[in-house]
Amino acid sequence: MKKDYDKMEISELILITGSDGGIGCNLADYLLSNGVRNLACHYHSSSDNIRAVLEKHKLDEQKHLFQAELTDEEDVKKLRLSIEAKLGDVWGLINMAGGSMNGMSWKISKADFQKIIDQNLMTTFLCSREFIPGMRKMISGRIINISSVVAYTGVVGAAHYCAAKAAIGGWTKALALELAPKNITANTLALGYFEYGLINHLSSEQQDGIKARIPYQRFGSANEIGGYIKFLLSGDGLYTTGQIVHVNGGLY
């Protein structure tokens, strides 16, 4: 019998890092609207957008909203302790936090290269390392890492970002092998272009140029990410691990 995923409830604690970003904020809204009942939302600096989402779903921001600098291992540890004190052990980790900047490969400074590696790969590493022991104790868990289509296609002016996002795929595959004996899955979603966040900083002409390269001729929406994530969080998602799922409208 086919399951009705629209009616599923996921009661285990899920943490979204970078929930203050355009995609993260809309993903949180989607999950809260579609069966996730226990959500911890991390933000780095501004929390206005994610705070509005929590208010919409009548969740107390003092209980569900957490600030941390995810490139700092001590701050990540404090994040875990704060979440555990208020909500309990994290069962599902969605590593959404990241960052980008433009720069041609021969002009990128070492500091800027390291900054992008830290914002994307280091945050994924530190958060995974911090929350895996709790999942191992539960003998169950889910890790979902967020990468990008450009990790597999490349893009002019962001070689450091492409490198960082590509590395997340290797990290995921190793985690899947290490954690399978404890019923913990690890998967990566390699996202294309979505209708939130940085894409809206581009001119309409630039946006039209990107859409012209996408077979579906449009940007993606939150439900088209959230649907995958909800499946991976479900009981039926247990046999899916070590995968890189390309959610990009056919853009390669």
Give residue limits of the domains in the chain.
5-195+221-246
CB neighbours of residue 67 within 10 Å: 15
Helix, strand, coil tally for the chain in percent (to 5): 50, 15, 35
Q: Which DSSP letter does residue 248 get? A: S
Q: How far apart are CA 50 and CA 152, in angstroms?
A: 30
* Annotation says 216 is catalytic: no
Question: What is the distance between the alpha carbons of residues 102 and 112, in angstroms, rounded to a whole number?
Answer: 10
Q: Tokens 């959610």 — which residue?
A: 247
**DSSP-assigned beta bridge partners for residue 144:** 94, 187
- pLDDT (tens digit, 9 = 90+) per residue, 103-135? 999 999 999 999 999 999 999 999 999 999 999
Indicate the pTM of the whole model: 0.94
pLDDT of residue 3: 45
> Quick check: 198 and 150 in contact, CB under 8 A?
no
Low-confidence ranges of the chain (pLDDT < 70): 1-8
* 3-state DSSP assignment of residue 130: helix
Nearest Cα to Cα of residue 95 among 117, 123, 68, 65? 123
From residue 120, give the alpha-carbon distance in Å to each of 12, 39, 108, 158, 205: 26, 22, 16, 13, 28
Which position among 43, 161, 196, 228 bears the catalytic label? 161
Q: CATH says 5-195+221-246 is which class?
A: alpha beta
In the DSSP assignment, the letter for residue 158 is B
